[in-house]
Structure 1
Amino acid sequence: MQRPVSAEIVSIPIMGASKSLSDRHTLFVSVRAVESGLLDGLVAHEVGHMLRTEQDHASHSPDVFRLIEKEVRIPRAGEGAFSAAFNHIQDIYADDLAFPVFSGTDGRRAYDFFSAWIDNNAATKTRNRWQNVGEAATNGFALGNLVRHALIMPEDPLWDRARGFDRQAGFEVVDSLASFYSDLPQDPAPAAFVAQVQHLAGLLSKAAA
């Protein structure tokens, strides 16, 4: 890490976040994270974001963000779902660095963490199709991240729970999303990364149609 890092314990609805500027990083940690037993994993994840920013990785590059704004199209109604799905791309690359800490000695901690996401999403299904597509993207990210780190098998019942969410919402997209996240290239060139984001936008739009 080349830039200094400061940390703040704050009241926020998520476990934590980070903010990177040209001369420093700031780590924000929720009180809930401090009490959760997941603090080391959270710190590793946010440090992963900081390192990707310092590396100017395509997933964390302001120049690439500007290309995405110009070249990726998503309906206004889907902007929230797309934003969440794109954040999960960034999370994949941060977790590639963080998983040795976050996953635990046998990977069980990561599996339990992401399976809880899928189970919680099953209870949040709404009549808003785009919102449901956004939840499906989160399910796909959770599964894809586990696949990427060899922590889930094809016959795992977690797949059925995620597919069940899709069926109730009236689309079938979680398998494609899981493959998308699990297969993201390690260090894509900017143009290749933008093409990946365009593919993601297409998956989401097709499911929402």
Structure 2
Amino acid sequence: MDIRVQGPGPTSPFLSARDLFETEHDLSLPVYVQLRDDPDERTWAGHYDDRHVLNISRQAASSAMARELALHEFAHMARHEQEHPSHTQSTEEVLYLALAGKSVERRKLAHCYQIANHMKDIYADDITLAVGPGEKLLSYLESSLAMAVADRPPTPARPGHERLSASADPEITAVNAAFALALTERHDLVDDDHRLYDLARVAAMDAPGVDFEGFKRRFRELAADPDSSGYRQVLVDATRDYVGGEGPAAD
């Protein structure tokens, strides 16, 4: 596996992630690591005909999560090379099938992309957690969800319902919580009394219109090797369940 770090910055996290990754997987194309100056630049992978590109800020590359971030992106690259349906299915096509004839708020449309990304991450982390430990990922999921439910407004959001989660949109926060629990349950990372369950319960209470248990079950039980049609239908169903309503069949 060919790793090429572009520009000054740490290299050890990427080499360490490569060593873990290569215990069970490999990539056909080289990986160019592009270190960015912007500390807010999120970590993401780009895919091209002759290479993959791992974009990461220098701050993230120097953090305690650097190896895990790199390993996660290597897993996305592997899924792309495998032509796994989760990484080849067009989200735009799914949204067209699921939402044809419906008027959808811009924020909920953005949330639908987030749901599709969660499914991609489930399949990437099936690789990540098969080759590396899950303690840091669990801590990251817990701290992220804790931040989303920590800031309580001084007055109820509406009569009879006191909002418990933060200024982040409570509906997608509930879906994010379902994803976090689904991923950790899928890989046996949590005991029944883990704090993540309490945090997820608060997030679910704050978004009663979201089928929290349904999304958790959907994420947790994603088939390991779906065909393209089956995966498309799962994503169409998830989109409709989140937005509400019916639509034409995916096929």
Q: Same fold (TM over 0.5)?
A: yes
The alignment status of 1:184 with 2:222, answered yes or no, reads yes
* Structure 1 residues 190 and 98: CA distance shift in structure 2, 3 A: same
- The counterpart of 1:26, out of the listed 30, 53, 61, is 53
Contact 1:115 1:158 in 2 (8 A): yes
Q: CA deviation at 1:15?
A: 4.5
* Matched position secondary structure for 1:26: strand
- The counterpart of 2:115, out of the listed 56, 61, 85, is 85
Query: Which residue matches 1:147?
Result: 185
Contact 2:35 2:58 in 1 (8 A): yes
The alignment status of 1:36 with 2:66, answered yes or no, reads no
Provide TM-score, normalisation by structure 2.
Answer: 0.72
Structure with the higher helix share, 1 or 2: 1
Q: Which moved more, 1:170-179 or 1:4-13?
A: 170-179
Contact 2:95 2:239 in 1 (8 A): no
* Structure 1 residues 69 and 165: CA distance shift in structure 2, 3 A: closer
Unaligned runs of at least 5 residues, structure 1 = none
* Structure 1 residues 171 and 156: CA distance shift in structure 2, 3 A: farther
Rg (Cα) greater in structure: 2
* Matched position secondary structure for 1:153: coil
Read off the aligned partner of 1:38 and give its amino acid letter: M
- Show the 5 A alignment for 1:1-209: 1-10=27-36, 11=38, 13=40, 15-62=42-89, 64-65=90-91, 67-73=93-99, 75-77=104-106, 78-102=108-132, 104=133, 107-123=134-150, 125=165, 131-206=169-244
Q: Deviations over 1:66-120 (max 9, x none)?
A: 6424422272431111111111110111111111455x3xx32222111112111
Aligned residues: 200
Unaligned runs of at least 5 residues, structure 2 = 1-26, 152-164, 245-251
Q: CA deviation at 1:169?
A: 3.5
- C-alpha RMSD of matched pairs (Å): 2.3
Identity %: 23
Q: Deviations over 1:47-82 (max 9, x none)?
A: 1111111111001115x5464244222724311111
- Distance, in Å, in 2 between the alignment partners of 1:140 and 1:27 is 27
- Distance, in Å, in 1 between the alignment partners of 2:179 and 2:192 is 15
Read off the aligned partner of 1:48 and give its amino acid letter: A
Q: Which has the higher contact order (CA 8 A, sep 6+)?
A: 1
- Distance, in Å, in 2 between the alignment partners of 1:84 and 1:203 is 14
- Distance, in Å, in 2 between the alignment partners of 1:92 and 1:157 is 21
Contact 2:179 2:216 in 1 (8 A): yes
Read off the aligned partner of 1:197 and give its amino acid letter: L
- Distance, in Å, in 1 between the alignment partners of 2:199 and 2:219 is 18
Read off the aligned partner of 2:197 and give its amino acid letter: W
Provide TM-score, normalisation by structure 1.
Answer: 0.85
* Matched position secondary structure for 1:56: coil
Q: Which moved more, 1:43-52 or 1:5-14?
A: 5-14
Contact 2:149 2:166 in 1 (8 A): no
- Distance, in Å, in 2 between the alignment partners of 1:109 and 1:101 is 14
- Distance, in Å, in 1 between the alignment partners of 2:111 and 2:228 is 22
